[in-house]
Structure 1
Amino acid sequence: VAQQKIPVGGVTHIDLQTVRAGESWQHGPVVLAWDHVKQEAVNFNNGHNVVLHEFAHQLDQEDGISDGAPILEKRSSYLTWARIMNKEYEQLRSDMEHHKKSVMDDYGATNPAEFFAVATETFFEKPKQLKKIKPDLYAELKGFYRVDPVEWL
């Protein structure tokens, strides 16, 4: 449970308590709800993993910006990364708007940073499906993480 203050007008605000599975603070800690960690460890391959999700945010924020573009090994890789990630992000947004099912969770359509975190979850949790349905996205994540989860199955 996290406290959240929402501004209303001038100095008035509403205090809310929200339940979260995890948080990733830029230049700070990662907070994980242990019950979610345990549940998702047992239900591997369901596409949801708060540990993968929040640590993907940490990787994304290494350059000081949470934008879905982590630091890549080669400077020349950014154009391909941006093209593929933007294409797949927009596709997920379109799928969500048209109520089409996707291999990725709809939460990835929130913004590019969440897309990267959800894509990371899907890459490790549903590698066969992601590779088959979105091979370009799979290849980018495989290159970034330098592993091929399909080989583990």
Structure 2
Amino acid sequence: MPGGGALPALLKIGVIGGLGLYGVANSLYNVDGGHRAIVFNRILGIKDKVYSEGTHLMIPWFERPIIYDVRARPHLVESTSGSRDLQMVKIGLRVLTRPKSTQLTEIYRTLGENYNERVLPSIIHETLKAVVAQYNASQLITQRENVSKEIRKILTERAAYFNIQLDD
């Protein structure tokens, strides 16, 4: 039928154009300041590249960005531990942590997206109990600076094993 093919042709162009716009819109993602991203590919797995701030391309439906906050975040922990003279001591600890941005792919592979909740409570409690057990209750007050330095040193070493940096 000559002349009657304009409507189906326009419909095809509209559908193809709509799908094209949808694909282009879903192929972009933004990484905000203070964040980094890694990309999970449904076929190949995690890509090794860490993406910094800005707008980046991905393949829709096959890739998805995993965005990490790499700014220092505070964690408050209170723990009751036994001192060397067997007195129970309640200690509060505030720690500023952030992931090592160059190791985000390794963090995702080993710990997942919620690495803080998996690692920090256990290493902080273990460290507090180990250090507090070396001092008497009175020494914890009089030698507060030494206790703080020792806790910081041990926590920094333990967190580095999990690719987490301590800032404070």
Higher fraction of helix: 1
TM-score (norm 1): 0.26
Highest CA radius of gyration, 1 or 2? Answer: 2
Q: Which has the higher strand share?
A: 2
